[in-house]
Structure formats: structure tokens, C-alpha cells
Structure 1
Amino acid sequence: MEILAFGVQSDEKPLIERAFDGHCEVRCLDVFLTEDTAPIAAGHEIVSSSVNAELGPRVLEILAAGGTRMIAQRSTGFNNIDLDAAGRLGMTVARVSYYSPYSVAEFAWTLGMAVNRRVVRAANRTRDFDFRLDGLMGRDMHGRTAGVLGTGKIGEAFTRIAHGFGMRLLGWDVAENPACMELGMKYVPKQQLLAESDLVTLHLPLMPETQHLIDAAALRSMKDDAILVNSSRGGLVDTRALVAELREGRFTGVGLDVYEAEAGLFFVDRSLEAVDDDTLARLVTFPNVLVTSHQAYYTEDAVAQIVDTTVRNVLDYLAGRRSENVLVPALARS
């Protein structure tokens, strides 16, 4: 049996091929799974998708018509998949429920410190042999307040780093994490966290309840000199509202590894094309904003775990086994 994997990065390909070796054949494609590319999967019972795949009802119908019965998503998030439609079509859907939380937490700190200490601006200057310090002043994180929205595994890892910096810790989540509380975190209402934090970081899943969690009102409640970091899901932040606040000269820095309209933009080279997303185009012009390409998870350790779990999900499906990674229950294979 051949597995068809969509949206595979060049660094990821050898890991996928090595992990599947001895189990199944795998063909890796660099194109993403969309309505236009879905017909390529015809004749493949199992398809592996990336986080930026567009798996709405129409795409799932095309896949099902071509014989696909199982989708193995190579990510934790699954807001890009219409699970109800997959269930109606008799398709099994599995994800990667866990991988290294340190990859994302460490990168979130990378973004926060890069905008705080003006690292990109400094690097661009020194390439032109401009070694002035004007405009490069940052702030100590020690003694300041970190607000963590979402204190699961990644939020906890971020909190441990913040504790190492000697920061005051505020948290907000539906459930309190005892490990974070042992580090001194105080759980407070979201409004209080936003108002008191010098650095706000997001580590939440995207769902209807969290869509635009950071909206215009939330942004206005933050300190004028706060730092905002989002390495989770782009839809957590109302980007238009963020741009409006940035135009007013607010925030010391904003570090974004995700963008709410990133599908079709991120993970591909658009450098020679005209990008028609005016919001993103405006966002990247602000000197205190750093946008990266959804790479927080992209470490050897995390990607290896993602690939290994994907292989296990496929083997579980073929054997008729269930695991905590299954989002839409497996049906008996004919």
C-alpha cells in the first residue's frame, strides 16, 4: 500500500520516508491538500495532510470519491478539518495529539526576546556596517509580568522559562495547571491578565470559543508598551484590529509565528509574486513586528515525534486499533 503525503517540506521528507520504511510505501508531495490538488489522491486509501491543508466538505468528498478512507494529519491542531463531514463520508481522521512542547515554547520566547531586544533591526543594520545603538534599547524581563493564555503542556514549558527569567506569572485557562502554580503562577481573569502583563503569550487551540480571543477590546486593554506573542493559531488574534492598534504606535513588539489567513501563503515561496493580502502586507511593515512562517514546531525533535506518531496512526488504522489520536472513529476495513 502506498501512502500519499501532502505538504511535505524538504527537511521533513527524509524523516517521513525513513519512518515508514518497512511498514508502507510513502510518496511525498510538496503541494498542499486543497480542492485543486485533492484529485491527485485518487486510488490512495490513506492520505497524510499538513496543518495548512484545506479539508472542508468539498475536499473530503473528492478524497472519498477517489477511495480515500483515512486521513493522518501531521499536527496537533485540526481546525482545518470538517470532522462532521469526514464522519458522514465514513472516513477515519487521526492527528498527533502530542509532540515536544519545548519546540513551540522556546520559539515563543525567541520571538518575544527578538522584538524586545530589536534583534532583527540590529542584524539588518550591521550587515550594512551600521553599528549605532539608536532605537535598539530593550527591557529586562526579570521582575516584569508574563501573562500566559493557555497553560497546557506548551504553556507550562513557556512558564518554566519565564520563571527562570525571574518574572511574575499570571495565567488564564479553563483549568488550572498545578505545575504552573508551583512555579508561582496566579490564575486571574483574562481582562486582568491583559491589563497587567508586560508580555502576553498565546498557547490555546483554535475553536469557536477562542476565535479572535484577542480582539479590539482585548488589545486596547493591554499596556501600550506590552509585547504580544502568538505561536499557536492565527485565528486567536483579530489581525485587522491589531494593525489598527499598531498604527496608533502601541506595543513594544509583536511576534507572530501564525497568521489567520496563512493558508496558501505560508510554507511556500511568494517572494516573486504580488501578495494581495493587504492586512499581512501592512503588518510586516511595522518595525516592531516580527512575522515568521509557522515554524515554532519545526525542530528535529518535534518533527521526528510528529512523523513517528503519524506512522503509528496509520498502522493502528490498518490493524483496526483505536488510540487517543483518532478524531473520527475508525470503521472496519473491507
Structure 2
Amino acid sequence: MKIAIFSTKYYEKEYLNKHNPKGLHELTFFDVALNSQTANLASGFDAVCVQLTDILDAATIDLLSQYQIKLIDLRSAGFDNVDVKAAAKNNIKVFRVPAYSPQAIAEHAVALILTLDRKTHKAYNRVRENNFSLQNLMGFNLYGKTVGVVGTGKIGSAFCNIMLGFGCTVLAHDIVESKVLITKGVAYTSLDKLFQTSDIISIHCPLTPNTRHLFDKKAFEKMKKGVMLINTSRGALIKTADAIDALKNGMIGYLGIDVYEGEEKIFFRDLSSTIVPDDLIERLMSFNNVLITPHQAFFTKEALDEIARITLLNFTDFENGTASENEIR
């Protein structure tokens, strides 16, 4: 197959080529994002391969159909940037990488928790300036704390297992309960009770119309004052403006995010010499109890290997007409 790969990052070529050693598929890499303005670049290809930052709305998909594109393959688990109905209408299949390294993202969530708690990032900067004071570096023990987990799919389950190892009480909320987690001591409960009783809340659910801005002013008002909130899932699960208000009045005591609802204009870019065109993220960064990382939770060697492997497998399965659980229907 001839495949146009959009929004290519510097590290992706190595891994994608590694899993295409015999040149079974002809890969052409584009740095630009795919949208209605750049869809013409897909002319002459059989399939497009995209990231969450690409915009595959109805207008873009109509253009892809005109260029005879038959497959959209996402290098991600999320797919809310793709108008799946428009793709089906144009007889374009949509595939994704549903799970590549749940442990990578779960471990990053824990890294955010420990950094916010023990303030290791602040200590590191102090010591580099020969400041060895412990002033304002007080943390708390994770042992014995109540941790709420919203979403217990593969990533949420991996996170639960880690927090159980810390000796935490783990509460969970999901439309499907995991019997395995229950046997390990995880207690499923209502979302309201999880909000009311958790010292730390970690988000691991998908972004859907029902979960968009699930964490808003009403939700924050139900939480323990000073709660730690962690999001390594999707940015728009949190209503940023409401989170800022909750930080200002102390309802949220700590916020750690690896995703942001306006990240498509910011993340994966070096904006160090420019003005960031987003007032909300600039406001977030002004809080000393907020930690933001640039959508790097997935960024491990193991995860990149798996993303590339499954991405290439999706191309092969589609070309061979093999049924795949990675197809979005």
C-alpha cells in the first residue's frame, strides 16, 4: 500500500521503518497536519496515517474520498478527532492502536503524583543553585491515602495495581467493573462518592460527548478540599476555566496534567521563543501547585515499538481483508 503519514514527529520514522523492514508498504512522511487545507497531499495514496492533532472532519474526509483514500489509520487509541460517520458514508475504514503500553501511561500518572507531592522538581532546581533549604518542600505519605480512579480499562487497571502497591485504598468508577480488580481490593462506587472521599483522583476514561468536561465546577464542588487531580487521558475531560477557579479558591490542591483541551495548537512544538497563543494554559502555569507535561506519558521505547508494530499490522490486515479488532465501527 502507498501510505501518507501526517504529523510525523522526529522519532516516528525510525520506529515505523523498523517495523516495515521489507518495504511491504510504501511510507511517505509529512511533517504537516492533515486537515481540509492539506488533504490534497493525500492524492495518489491508498491510505492516510494520522495523529490526534490531525483534523479529520466531514470536509476533510470528503476530500480524502475524492482522492480515493480507503483507510484512515490512527497512531493512537483516541479517535474523537475523526468523523467516523462521515468516513463510513464515504466507505473509508478507520483503524486505531487501542492499547500500546498501558503501563507507560499509568507510570507517568504516578510520576506526576509523586512529583507534585514530594516537590522533587522544585528541590532539583534549588539544589542546582546551592539552595539546600527544606522550606516549602513538605509532602505527604501516599500510604493509606484514598485514590479514586475514573475509568478502569487497561491503563486505569495498570494504575490501580500500582496504587495498591503503595498501600492506598483504591476506589474506582466505570460502566464496566473489573472482577480482577475487585478481587485485588479495588472498590467500585458512584462517581459522587468517589469525588467526596478521594484524596487523589486520576482520570483514565475516554473522551466522548458524555464525558467532555466531566470535571467541571459542579464536580470540583463535590471533591475534598485540596484534592490532587491527575489527567493523563484526554484534555477536554477537564473544563480548564473551572479548574483555574478551583485552584484559585483551594478546592483543587494539586493539578497534574499530561493533556490539555487546547493542546493541538501547543503541544509537540518548541514555542520557547514565541508567545504562547493560549491564555488558559499560561494561567495554569502560573500556579505553583500545577505540573504540566507535554503529552509524553506514552513516550517510552516499548510504547513506540508497539504503536509502530500495530500501525503497520493495521495496514496489512486492511490490505488482506483480515478482520481486525482495531477497526472502529
1:218 alignment counterpart: 219
2:142 alignment counterpart: 141
Shift of 1:32: 2.0
1:18 matched to 2:18:
yes
Of 27-36 and 153-162, more deviation after overlay is shown by 27-36
Distance 1:44 1:214 in 2: 41
Q: Cα deviations across residues 242-290 of structure 1 (Å, max 9, x unaligned)? A: 0011111343311100011111211112222222211111011111101
Paired residues of 1:6 and 1:28 also in contact (CA < 8 A): yes
Q: 1:254-333 residue pairs with structure 2 within 5 A?
A: 254-328=255-329
2:119 alignment counterpart: 118
2:95 alignment counterpart: 94
Q: 1:146-225 residue pairs with structure 2 within 5 A?
A: 146-225=147-226
Shift of 1:36: 2.7
2:4 alignment counterpart: 4
Q: Cα deviations across residues 277-332 of structure 1 (Å, max 9, x unaligned)? A: 1111101111110111111111111111111111111011111222111114xxxx
Distance 1:129 1:13 in 2: 41
Of 61-70 and 82-91, more deviation after overlay is shown by 61-70
TM-score when scaled to structure 2?
0.96
Q: Which runs of 5+ in 1 are unaligned?
A: 329-334
Q: Identity rate of aligned residues, in percent?
A: 37
Specify the SS of the correspondent of 1:217.
helix
Paired residues of 2:212 and 2:236 also in contact (CA < 8 A): yes
The AA in structure 2 aligned to 1:276 is P
Q: Cα deviations across residues 147-199 of structure 1 (Å, max 9, x unaligned)? A: 00011111111011101100111111101111211221111111111111111
Q: Cα deviations across residues 84-120 of structure 1 (Å, max 9, x unaligned)? A: 1111112111011222210110011011111111122
1:79 alignment counterpart: 80
Specify the SS of the correspondent of 2:27.
strand
Shift of 1:227: 0.8
TM-score when scaled to structure 1?
0.95
Specify the SS of the correspondent of 1:252.
strand
Shift of 1:63: 1.9
Q: 1:222-237 residue pairs with structure 2 within 5 A?
A: 222-237=223-238
Specify the SS of the correspondent of 1:263.
helix
Specify the SS of the correspondent of 1:327.
coil
Of 195-204 and 122-131, more deviation after overlay is shown by 122-131
Of 13-22 and 195-204, more deviation after overlay is shown by 13-22
Shift of 1:65: 2.0
Distance 2:8 2:274 in 1: 22
Distance 2:209 2:271 in 1: 30
Paired residues of 2:221 and 2:251 also in contact (CA < 8 A): no
The AA in structure 1 aligned to 2:21 is D
Distance 1:327 1:100 in 2: 19
Distance 1:250 1:132 in 2: 28
Distance 2:285 2:105 in 1: 21
Distance 2:253 2:118 in 1: 10
The AA in structure 2 aligned to 1:270 is L
Distance 1:36 1:323 in 2: 31
1:69 matched to 2:70:
yes
Shift of 1:35: 2.6
Paired residues of 2:112 and 2:230 also in contact (CA < 8 A): yes
Distance 1:89 1:245 in 2: 44
The AA in structure 2 aligned to 1:70 is L
For this pair of structures, how many residues does the alignment match?
328
Shift of 1:62: 2.2
Paired residues of 1:116 and 1:252 also in contact (CA < 8 A): no
Paired residues of 2:216 and 2:242 also in contact (CA < 8 A): yes
Specify the SS of the correspondent of 1:68.
coil
Paired residues of 1:255 and 1:290 also in contact (CA < 8 A): yes
Distance 2:328 2:145 in 1: 40
Paired residues of 1:115 and 1:252 also in contact (CA < 8 A): no
Distance 2:6 2:268 in 1: 12
2:31 alignment counterpart: 30
Of 259-268 and 229-238, more deviation after overlay is shown by 259-268
Shift of 1:213: 1.0
